[in-house]
Amino acid sequence: MSERSERTGGRAADDGGAGTAVLVLEDGRVFHGTPYGARGETFGEMVFNTGMTGYQETLTDPSYHRQIVAMTAPHIGNTGVNDDDPESSRVWVAGYVVREPARVHSSWRATRSLDDYLADSGVVGIAIPGTRALTRHLRERGAMRAGIFSGGALAPAEELLERVRLSPPMEGADLVGQVSTAEPYVIPAVGERKYTVAAVDLGIKSMTPHRMAERGCEVHVLPATATAADILALDPDGVFFSNGPGDPATADGPVEALRGVLDAGRPFFGICFGNQIFGRALGLGTYKLRYGHRGVNQPVQDRRTGKVEISAHNHGFAVRAPLDGPFDTPYGPAEVSHVNLNDDCVEGLRLVGRPAFSVQYHPEAAAGPHDSAGLFDRFCALMERSRGRASGVAGEGRAVRAASEEPGATTDTGENESA
């Protein structure tokens, strides 16, 4: 299979479309290859993922909604597709770019090939030997709009470029409502129920509430439209805001809901998009990264302990916050808790005197390293302190909760121990 990378000019294909696909970037760069998955056309923001494993989790991550994802690992599809690893009920990527698709998949868990899975899901893809050239181009020029075309969608390159440039950009995109659950649902605790967590679904991955359930949390997953009143009506021990797609500057509803949660003093933990919502709730701004962080190998440092964790990421926006110490917010002083060692991007926030913190990455590790799994334990400890439970004593949750609801009872807010 040969590949050509060129500027627009002439036809995008010269073989009548049989066995041909093209990837067109909005700056005019064109990559030629072969169809992979469904045939047709698709549009989205062109991004790259540096993970060597976890392609099925990537495809079904709602945070990739309206994005065309290029995998930098050369071999994709070797283990096929199974029914256990999806992170949601469907494939969310707009398109898929690989270098060398597996000719034969091999895994005892596999039920079908990745090519068939993409075709059945209607996901238009392309295989090109030049994924390295594509990645270097995006690193130099930044993430941009793109389109993949094959079969009957092939046309002169100038026409395809025009269609790409008419597609909507990611900046200003309000997408959480398109991926969030329509109705609330509950993930029961594994074993004894110790805590009740209200989780706002901004594009939540299925492994995330499962990680909390493993720690004794009964997780009530709420739609992205949930208000502070909806959340607090559950009388939760803690509140969680999930990952999700789109521009956080458009998410005014979740920001207002979180402010109500913070006003009520409930313990809060946010990840990814939830980190950006937390930043906005504190009065901070957000901005678009040049090409984003997507993969399972990002080094993040805890600024308080100096510990470095390798973490899983998927974000194209970030919070703009001072790195030189605590800063004032409507809820008291806050600080940047984590930074990315590649580019000093803000990777975590915490309130100094209230039980609230967030990170910009995925501690549930689906897929990815498990370095950050302790963040769920930190959230549970935050809820524990906030309820006034004696640390480490199992089985007292309900009794302590009942006692705390007696007239005149007080609870520890966890001030100065929020993260």
- Condensed to tens digits (0 to 9), the pLDDT of residues 30-61 reads 999 999 999 999 999 999 999 888 999 999 99
- 32, 137, 313, 362: the catalytic one is 362
| In this structure, CATH architecture of domain 176-404 | 3-Layer(aba) Sandwich (3.40)
**Nearest-CA neighbor of 291 among 139, 105, 131?**
139
The pLDDT of residue 14: 43
Do residues 237 and 193 touch, judged by C-beta distance below 8 A?
no
Residue position matching structure tokens 């067109």: 24
Longest dimension (CA), the chain: 80
Task: Give the chain's residues under pLDDT 50.
Answer: 1-16, 389-419
Q: Is 210 a catalytic residue?
A: no
How many other C-beta atoms can be found within 10 angstroms of the C-beta atom of residue 372?
24
Q: What is the pTM of this model?
A: 0.88
106: helix, strand or coil: coil
274: helix, strand or coil: helix
Q: Is 65 a catalytic residue?
A: no
Q: Where in the chain is the domain with CATH 3.40.50.880?
A: 176-404
- 272, 315, 338, 345: the catalytic one is 272
Q: Is 272 a catalytic residue?
A: yes
The pLDDT of residue 320: 97
Beta bridge partners of 100: 75
The pLDDT of residue 390: 36
Q: Which CATH number fits domain 5-166: 3.50.30.20, 3.40.50.300, 3.40.50.150, 2.60.40.420?
A: 3.50.30.20
Backbone angles phi, psi at 255, to 5 degrees: -65, -45
Please calculate the CA angle 175-273-38 and round it to the nearest 5 degrees. 50
DSSP string across 305-355 = T--EEEEEEEEEEEEE--SSS-B--BTB-EEEEEEETTT--EEEEEESSSS
398: helix, strand or coil: helix
Beta bridge partners of 359: 271, 348
Q: Where in the chain is the domain with CATH 3.50.30.20?
A: 5-166
Structure-block tokens of residue 105: 């998949």
Backbone angles phi, psi at 230, to 5 degrees: -60, -45
Cα–Cα dist 304/290, whole Å: 28
- 218, 364, 380, 384: the catalytic one is 364
343: helix, strand or coil: coil
The pLDDT of residue 17: 52
Structure-block tokens of residue 365: 């590790």
DSSP string across 358-385 = EESSBTT-TTS-STTTHHHHHHHHHHHH
Please calculate the CA angle 169-170-172 and round it to the nearest 5 degrees. 95
**Nearest-CA neighbor of 55 among 140, 132, 133, 113?**
113
Q: How many residues are listed for the chain in this entry?
A: 419
395: helix, strand or coil: coil
Cα–Cα dist 69/67, whole Å: 6
